[in-house]
Chain A
Amino acid sequence: MQREGLTQVVGKSLGSFFTSKLDEAIGWGRKYSIFQYPFVTACCGMEYMAAACSHYDIDRFGAGLPRFSPRQADVLFVVGTISHKMAPVLKRVYDQMCEPKWVVAFGVCTCTGGFYDNYATVMGIDTLIPVDVYIPGCPPRPESVIDGLMKLQEKIATSTQRY
């Protein structure tokens, strides 16, 4: 009886040991293969291009390959002001992405609407789709983009993986 109980306990912890290690391995893999979908609408796009070019080498974080199809992308980079006319398109692109997926709000317009408070602008894309990382700035410096990217990596690596 005692011995059986012991095996059960050992077996259980062994099992969770393996799944947590598997989670870690998958998380490690996923955090270094961030294929982005750049949803670029405004001036932040220039800053995104600067940050994505060779000078800052974001391939170090496995984020060097933008995919221009939402089906192939892991992370939706929303770069630039989103207007109410554009909002249904953004939602649709988000819905087309496969799980697991993450969203980065790049620049203050996507975070809160920024200095726009008028008839045309969405007051933060988190009113439409869930956002994982907010990168404020008008536009953000490449350093803060990389910081946001590393925070996203951390989130991807430490979360429970679905597979």
Chain B
Amino acid sequence: MNGPAILLRVAERFGSRILETHDRLGDQTAVVDRAALIELLTYCRDELGLKFDMLMDLTAVDYLKYPGREDGPRFEVVYHLYSLPHNHRLRVKVALEEDDPVVPTVVDLWPIANWFEREVWDMFGIRFEGHPDLRRLLMYEEFQGHPLRKDYPVSKRQPLIGPKN
């Protein structure tokens, strides 16, 4: 199935719960409402014609100072799906408000999401509800804050030993 057809199929099934779709430069994106996220991803994984059996990447974006999006939802969590049997891809995004950065976990769908979600928690402070072990992955436990948030001071260091900054 080609990319636009995947978008059509998903949009047909989920209707208004798919907030937006993009088809740019050969990449297809579906922006989904948070309440329908798990249902959509489960559908993408299990539906015969789609069979997205691989979660290539799970990451997040902080749009705090992004031109044109200053007052929109601050965060976006991005899922990159790939299907080995069909050799096609889809990108799924879900937007999150600053005061409620919570999204349901997808560890049950793709076990690889375990560490991806820990990394996103570590770097962006987005919580994944239902995650079995949501600890920091890259930074140390003593670290305060989330360094890839745009409001984290760019050269603020928190050394364990040695001089402070």
Contact = CB atoms under 8 A, between A and B. Distances in A.
A and B interact physically:
yes
Interface of A: 84-85, 87-88, 91, 117-120, 122-123, 127-128
Please classify how large the interface on chain B is, using the bins under 10, 10 to 19, 20 to 34, 35 or more.
10 to 19
Contact of A128 (B139, B156, B162): B162
B154 A87 contact: no
A87 B155 contact: no
B137 to A, nearest CB: 11
B159 A122 contact: yes
A119 B162 contact: no
B160 A85 contact: yes
A87 B156 contact: no
A84 B158 contact: yes
Chain B CB within 10 A, most for which of A84, A117, A120? A84
Contacts of A122: 159, 162
Contacts, number: 36
Contacts of B138: 85
Q: Is the interface of A mostly helix, strand, loop or mixed?
A: loop
A84 B155 contact: no
13 contacts: A84-B140, A84-B160, A85-B138, A85-B160, A87-B160, A91-B161, A118-B154, A119-B155, A119-B156, A119-B157, A120-B147, A128-B161, A128-B162
Interface in B128-165: 138-140, 147, 152, 154-163
Contacts of B160: 84-85, 87-88
A85 B162 contact: no
A123 B157 CA distance: 10
**Top 3 nearest A-B pairs by Cβ distance?**
A119-B147, A127-B162, A128-B162
